[in-house]
Amino acid sequence: MNDFLYKYGYVTAGSFLQGLAMAVFLFPHSIPSGGSAGIAVLLNYWFNMPLSFALWLVNFSLLVAAIYWLGNASAIGTMYAITITSISVHICSNMISPFNVWIDLIIGAIILGNGIGMLLKQNVSNGGMGVMALIVTKYRHIPPGKPLLFFNGSVFILTGTIIAWQIIVQALICQWISTKVVDDIHTEKRSFHWLRLLISKLQRT
C-alpha cells in the first residue's frame, strides 16, 4: 500500500509539474511541448481532422501500444498522468510569467523535464511520444531522454513546413533541455553540468 501511495504521489507531482510548464511557460508562446501535438497538426493539415479529435486519436493509439508493450499497469498510470496534466494546465492557464520567451523556454523546459522524468522513473509515460520512449528504454536498456528527443524532434522538423520555423527551433531547444533533465533524473546523476554551461554561454551573449 505504501509503495502504491508513493508511486502515485510521485506521478501526481510529475504530472502537475508537466502541466505547469506547459500552461505558464510554453503554451503562451505557442511552443509545442511534445510530438503528439505535432502529429495532430499534420492530421489536421492533411485530412482536415479536428485538432481535438486528432490529438485524442494519437494519444489513444499510443495508449494501445503502451498496453501491448508495457502492460496494463503502465497504461493505467499513463491515463492517470494525462488526466492530472490536463487538470494542471486548466488550473495554471491564468498564471502569467513575467519573463521573455527565451527565459520562459529555459524555465519551462527544465520544469517539463523534471515532470516527465518523475513519470518515466515510475515506468509511467507522460502520454504522446513518452510511450515510445518507454518502449525503447524497456527493450534497448537506454535512458529515455535520447529516444524522446529523437521522436519529438523528428515530428517537429516534419511540421516545420506548416508552422513558423522559429517555433520549431524553440521546440527543439525545449526538447533538448527537457530530455537532458529526463536523463539526469533517470540515471540519478543530477549534475546538470550542461545547464551551467548553457547559462554561462547565454551570459556572454
Share of the chain above pLDDT 70, in %: 87
pLDDT higher than 70, residue 163: no
**What distance in Å separates the CA atoms of residue 38 and residue 49, rounded to the nearest whole number?**
13
Coil, strand, or helix at residue 103?
helix
Confidence of residue 193 (pLDDT cuts 50, 70, 90): low
| Distances in whole angstroms, Cα of residue 53 to Cα of each of 6, 37, 137, 154 | 34, 11, 29, 22
pLDDT band at 13 (very low <50, low <70, confident <90, very high): very high
Average pLDDT rounded to a whole number, residues 6-35? 86
Give the span between the Cα atoms of 145 and 50, in whole angstroms: 30
Q: Report the pLDDT averaged over residues 38-58.
A: 77
Please state the rounded mean pLDDT for residues 48-53: 74
Compare 198 and 44 and report the one with higher pLDDT: 44
Share of the chain above pLDDT 90, in %: 11
How much is the pLDDT for 154?
86
- The pLDDT value given to residue 20: 92
Task: Please give the Cα distance from 168 to 171 (Å, whole number).
Answer: 5
Residue predicted with more confidence, 195 or 166: 166
Burial label for 115, CB within 10 Å (0-12, 13-18, 19+), is buried
Question: Is residue 16 very low, low, confident or very high in pLDDT (cuts 50, 70, 90)?
Answer: very high
Task: Please give the Cα distance from 33 to 172 (Å, whole number).
Answer: 9
In this structure, what C-alpha cell is assigned to residue 116?
516527465
The pLDDT of residue 105:
93
Q: Tens digits of per-residue pLDDT, 104-116?
A: 999 999 999 999 8
DSSP tag of 24: I
Mean pLDDT of the chain: 80
**H helix runs in the chain, sequence order:** 2-20, 35-47, 51-70, 72-92, 101-121, 129-140, 145-158, 165-187, 193-204
145, 112 contact by CB (below 8 A):
no
The pLDDT, as a whole number, for residue 188 is 66
**In the predicted model, what is the mean pLDDT of residues 76-97?**
84
Q: Residues 6 or more apart from 179 whose CB is under 8 A from it?
A: 113, 145, 146, 148, 149
